[in-house]
Structure 1
Amino acid sequence: MDIKVLTENYFLESLKLSEYAFQYKIVEERIPARRDMLKKHKILGILEQEKLAAKLHIIPLAVNMNGEEWKMGGIAGVATYPEYRRSGYVRSLMIEALRQMLADGQIVSLLHPFDFSFYRKYGWEILSEYKKVSLEKKDLALLPISPGRIIRYSKEDFPQDINHIYQMYCNQFNGMLVRSFDWWKDQVIDDNSQIAVYYNQANEAKGYILYHVKDRKMDVEEMVCLNQEARVGLWNFICQHDSMVEKVFLTLPIHDPFPYFIQQPKVSMELQPYFMARIVDVEECLRKFEFNSETEPVFLHLEDTFAPWNNGSYLIGHDQLKVFKEKNGSQCVQPPKRGIHLSINDLSAIIFGYKRPLELYQMGYLKGSEEEVQKLERMVPHIKSSFYDFF
């Protein structure tokens, strides 16, 4: 089986495979723009008699981790024609994608799964959850008025203020996408988007919402606030639409305090897991990650079936990392048996902040003594994961 990095000659075939697999149609006039977009991707393909049979896209992006930007490979567009399914093509593409991301210095990888169990077996784990809040007109009750003001914008005139708010918000979480100006323009804000920004009395932008109003429904796709004042100010702005809408839908990270602070918090909420994440390069990840170093060091014994370069033992703590891996079939130094045995899924969930070490230990995922797990629990900062985007 020959896997190739596809050149521009195959871009049209790649688009046709996406149309077939994901059941949509690209209008003719948008094809040149879509082909230009593919120039930013690394597309892996498997050919059968010079025709594209299966493919996978790696999008070079970055995520915020402990206040730093980490290179991230976004997996997207994984597709196979039905006559080639169950031939191991996707498995081969996933393994090759991991090798390519390692070579390109992409420490972590994110994807939006069609099936969580399918990608879990390749080492990706749940990154984040969101809550979809459904509100009736009767729920739109104003709170005490915030002292600031709201300014509305559209795609044509959206300000840099919202990117500044977003960046400040990202520092509270792990896994948030680093957005370029082009990403905002091409992927986040569409032609029908409305943007409302809350400014405090010092004229500082402290929160925004992205939303649509149509057919007497308001759909708030992002609500990003840096403090409670902005949160209340934007909520009151939403309430001011009570003469225009019958329903309001809010898409929020699971950690958002809404609806605790509104007058009637008994509203309909639907919780769903969203994106998945995976560590591609464990050694570089553990070297860069800022652990709390006041506790004693602990050994992590890691198993990673599909990225074998990660297999080994890692001693973390006291601002240092020692690595014990097999070289040429034999282990250079035998690490002690004490420590924590875990999978790449477990470590990914811990590093991104989706699950705590003690949670995973209590569910039976981490193997080792509770004393060792308590050390790791104290070592890992209390930063939760979150993700808003789609690719």
Structure 2
Amino acid sequence: MTVIKLAKEYYREAIKLSEYAFQYKVPEESIEKRLQMIEKHHEVYGILEGDELAAKLHLLPLEVYLGETKLKMGGIAGVATYPEYRRSGYVKEMLTYLLDTMKKEGYSVSMLHPFSVPFYRKYGWELFSSKLKASLKSEDLIMKKQTAGKIKRYKKETHSTEIEEMYAQFAKQFSGMLVRETSWWQESVYDELTAAVYYNEAGEPKGYMLYEVKNSKMKIEEFIPLNPEARNGLWNFICQHDSMIKELEIITYENDPLLFSLNEPRIKAEITPYFMVRIIDAESFLKSYDFLWTDNEDQLLLNLSDPHASWNNGTYLIKNQEVSKLSIKETETLSGKGLSLNINTLSTALFGYKCPLDLHQITHIEGSAEDVQKLQMLIPNRQAYFYDFF
């Protein structure tokens, strides 16, 4: 079986395979738009049986924030195989091929939304972001201290780049948030949502939320305050809908302080693991990572295993504010020393989703407690989060 990058003439077949596998139908009048979107934003890889498409996946060349740093990220979506070809290793072949392709093309990480977490864990992807869905009733809508600013609403047609700038500022506080171009906002964020922007007394935009109100329910897809005033101002705007809605649903990150600040914080809150990440090139990732370096001369060894990306296998030395990959000869003299972990564990730890101390407790990291503490102290205290979907 051979994986190929599909030419444009196969894109319609790729859509048909997605329709079959994911059980939906693209309206005929939307086919052309979908084809243009694939041509513009996707690379499609697949396996043919004769002239027929048997399996395919889509690679989306994107970027994500790791704090202030932007990383080249390969988003994987639309992984599908016709049932007569399933359990024949087609997806494994495509994923392995794509890992090699992303390495050659300089991708730092890859992300995906899993149909099955155990399946993608086998190939090195690991959970890095959860979503919190908070459900409130109209009686929970108690206003906070009045703010001096004002709210202005926008739709997709009147979108303001001020919203993009606020999102970027907010995203840099986290690990993993997508770098959004204007076209992404228009094609993948808004849909039928409304943006409400909070402006302070000086007329400066300091926060926004994306929401819809339908059937007496308000659903907030993004809640992005840049300071406490904006948080209160946006919340008070929500409360002004108390005569229109019976329910409120907010999608946010696990430690959003808004929920603690509610008059009655004992609300229904559901946390669901959401997206997965995988480091593609461990050596370049580690060398560019913003470790919290100290002046001490301690060293740390990481013995990394990656069955599906052999270039990552090896021992990495963290010393004197530098990271280097040791030669096989150097590694042999250090056998049994340092921490042992796989690419999954390294990915979730460096994105801040699970800390080394917890990963050590469940034996995902093996080694001395002292070395685990060293690794813990090197990783920035930065929450992982991902709002988008592909």
- Map Cα deviations across residues 137-169 of structure 1 (whole Å, 9 max, x no partner): 111111111221111111111111111111111
Partners of 2:333 and 2:227 in 1: how far apart?
47
1:246 maps to a residue whose letter is: K
Pair 1:387-2:389 in alignment: no
In structure 2, the CA distance between the partners of 1:373 and 1:181, relative to structure 1 (3 Å rule), is: same
1:57 Cα deviation from its structure 2 partner: 0.8
1:17 maps to a residue whose letter is: L
In structure 2, the CA distance between the partners of 1:333 and 1:140, relative to structure 1 (3 Å rule), is: closer
Residue 83 of structure 1: aligned partner: 84
Gaps of 5+ in 2: none
Alpha-carbon RMSD across the aligned residues, in angstroms, is 1.2
Pair 1:315-2:314 in alignment: no
CA contact (8 A) 2:283 2:324 kept: no
What does 1:81-120 correspond to in 2, within 5 Å? 81-120=82-121
2:349 maps to a residue whose letter is: I
1:125 Cα deviation from its structure 2 partner: 0.6
Pair 1:21-2:21 in alignment: yes
1:299 Cα deviation from its structure 2 partner: 0.7
CA contact (8 A) 1:291 1:317 kept: no
Residue 38 of structure 1: aligned partner: 38
- Map Cα deviations across residues 254-285 of structure 1 (whole Å, 9 max, x no partner): 12113111111111111100100010110110
- Map Cα deviations across residues 100-156 of structure 1 (whole Å, 9 max, x no partner): 111111110000001111111111111111111111111111111122111111111
1:312 maps to a residue whose letter is: G
1:69 maps to a residue whose letter is: K
CA contact (8 A) 1:278 1:348 kept: yes
Residue 256 of structure 1: aligned partner: 256
Query: Percent of aligned positions with the same letter in both sequences?
Result: 47
| TM-score, normalising length: structure 2 | 0.97
Partners of 2:270 and 2:109 in 1: how far apart?
28
Gaps of 5+ in 1: none
Alignment length, in residue pairs?
386
Partners of 1:352 and 1:193 in 2: how far apart?
29
* Partner secondary structure for residue 223 of structure 2: strand
1:300 aligned residue (302, 324, 339)? 302
1:206 Cα deviation from its structure 2 partner: 1.2
Residue 287 of structure 2: aligned partner: 287
- Provide runs of 4+ in structure 1 moved above 3 Å: 331-335
1:335 Cα deviation from its structure 2 partner: 5.1
Partners of 2:303 and 2:29 in 1: how far apart?
53
CA contact (8 A) 2:21 2:80 kept: yes
1:184 Cα deviation from its structure 2 partner: 0.5
Partners of 1:85 and 1:99 in 2: how far apart?
23
Greater Cα offset, 30-39 or 81-90: 30-39
1:333 Cα deviation from its structure 2 partner: 5.5
1:13 Cα deviation from its structure 2 partner: 0.4
CA contact (8 A) 2:76 2:110 kept: yes
* Partner secondary structure for residue 257 of structure 2: coil
- Map Cα deviations across residues 51-100 of structure 1 (whole Å, 9 max, x no partner): 00000111000000131110000010000001111111111111111111
